[in-house]
Structure 1
Amino acid sequence: MTLNKKQVKDCDSSQWDFSDLKAIFLNCTLKPTPELSHTDGLITISKEIMERNSISVQVLRPVDHNIAFGVYPDMTEHGWESDEWPLIYKQVEEADILVITTPIWLGEKSSICTQVIERLYANSSDLNAKGQYAYYGRVGGCLITGNEDGAKHCAMNILYSLQHLGYVIPPQADAAWVGEAGPGPSYLDPGSGGPQNDFTNRNTTFMTWNLMHLARVIKNTGGIPAHGNQRSEWDAGCKPDFPNPDYR
């Protein structure tokens, strides 16, 4: 069991039904499976809280897949021989909750994380049945691990990106564990104190429950009301000669 007594108590005393919700964690580690991912260690806490509340949860490492670079939904239509992003996007599209997770490198989110956000952006101009942008009605958050500072900087970048694409961001939608500056133990290393860190555990718990609650509220109300926010009613910014997906 990954959770502490307080986290288990919260799950056992829950009065809400989340059983029809789906969540996906995109672990933007640079390490392919089955290499140890310290970020995956932090994901496990949030994942277990969701699963104890009957949410269907998937964890995926984009680095395991052949994802092309670019800002179109399918880059095989733009010169690339292969692109697995369309398959990943289908799983993202089915999820009510998206959590983007990343290690910190040189104070920034990983290169894989940047690529994932670019590819999410590629699909952002798709419209839902109400004529809104594709990600409307979904909620997003982020988890971050690292040996040095930069967690809040990464979180600001990721959460801004998600809300810009159409995700709803609940209160305190980020959590992180950051070790001492310089070479030292990472989150899952013996003696790091990461899994036992009360501050990180509290923030991860808050983030997870806030994502679950907001996803429940939005789904119960049938999504974000479609009034005053329908892309299908506007032609502003449409420049067909330019490649930015927002202009299609």
Structure 2
Amino acid sequence: MTDSTADFSNLKAVFVNCTLKPSPDTSNTQGLMDNAIAIMESHGVSVDTFRLADYDVPAGVYPDMTENVPGGNRPHDDWPELSRRILEADILVVGTPIWLGEKSSVATRLIERLYGLSGELNDRGQFLFYGRTAGVMITGNEDGIKHISMNVLYSLQHLGYVIPPNADAGWVGPVGPGPSYLDEGSGGPETEFTRRNTAFMAWNLMHTAAWLKAGGGFPAGGNSSEEWSEGATFDHPNPEYRR
């Protein structure tokens, strides 16, 4: 039986919808994500959600593209505020549609801008995203759920997020043009496989986030980028090769 005694009320989650559609257009990706949001909110998790397409988020490798941009071309950038909302959360869920078997261009932009923060550190000297957990949710009318999950979850763990078991959920209709997740008669909301994976993902993210928070973040020891830069070798067998 599900552990109904677990307390997740001190957790925050952020769901970033990487649909190509700005609000208020119907988003099938949001329709799927809303199921995981409902599970988390029913257990006291504070949930924030937004569509990246609703904001000006230019391409770039800087945390703020209005600063330190060569050539004086400094576009408006909503990313500093959006990244603050992401960093306030214990849980990140990325939602994306499938286009040509890949995550959306908006999802690629999200990962790129998150990567732009990868040089920053937390108060333990670890990479900034340590101590958080992440998952992915995918919708579409073509194959690609597992391929996109591998890509997104690898990217997020490379940045420092902890990826729990079964951290992906998705739904695809018939191959080729056909009904989308929220279309009447699509069968999407009723699909057993998707419903199960959505529930598993939501619960595993909550459990992992609670463990990390109770431990004060990801354990320190042998993983401080700051200490490595200062000369630590963390028992690597070839310390003489330190530059």
Normalised TM-score (structure 2): 0.91
Matched residue, 2:23: 33
Farther off after superposition, 71-80 or 130-139? 71-80
Is the radius of gyration larger for structure 1 or structure 2? 2
Deviation of 1:174 after TM superposition, in Å, equals 0.2
Q: CA RMSD in A?
A: 1.2
**Is 1:57–2:85 an aligned residue pair?**
no
Deviation of 1:113 after TM superposition, in Å, equals 0.2
Structure 2: distance between partners of 1:88 and 1:142: 18
Matched residue, 2:65: 75
Structure 2: distance between partners of 1:64 and 1:201: 28
Structure 1: distance between partners of 2:31 and 2:76: 31
Deviations 1:120-159 (A, max 9, x none): 0001111111110000000000000000101110000000
Matched residue, 2:233: none
**Is 1:185–2:179 an aligned residue pair?**
yes
Letter in 2 for 1:72: Y
Structure 2: distance between partners of 1:126 and 1:108: 29
Structure 2: distance between partners of 1:152 and 1:71: 27
Match of 1:106 among 100, 111, 123: 100
3-state SS of the aligned residue for 2:229?
A: coil
**What runs of 5+ residues in structure 1 fail to find an aligned partner?**
1-8, 237-248
Letter in 2 for 1:113: A
Q: How many pairs align? A: 226
Whether the aligned pair in 2 keeps the contact of 1:68 and 1:80 (CA below 8 Å) is no
Matched residue, 2:238: none
Letter in 1 for 2:14: I
Match of 1:173 among 167, 172, 185: 167
**Is 1:161–2:155 an aligned residue pair?**
yes
Normalised TM-score (structure 1): 0.89
Aligned residue runs from structure 1 range 1-248, under 5 A: 14-77=4-67, 78=69, 79-235=73-229
Structure 2: distance between partners of 1:178 and 1:204: 14
3-state SS of the aligned residue for 1:24?
A: strand
Identity over aligned pairs, percent: 59
Structure 2: distance between partners of 1:19 and 1:145: 29
4+ long deviations beyond 2 Å: none
**What runs of 5+ residues in structure 2 fail to find an aligned partner?**
231-243
3-state SS of the aligned residue for 2:66?
A: helix
Deviation of 1:22 after TM superposition, in Å, equals 0.1
3-state SS of the aligned residue for 1:190?
A: coil
Structure 2: distance between partners of 1:125 and 1:100: 21
Deviation of 1:233 after TM superposition, in Å, equals 1.2
3-state SS of the aligned residue for 1:99?
A: strand
Structure 1: distance between partners of 2:198 and 2:147: 17
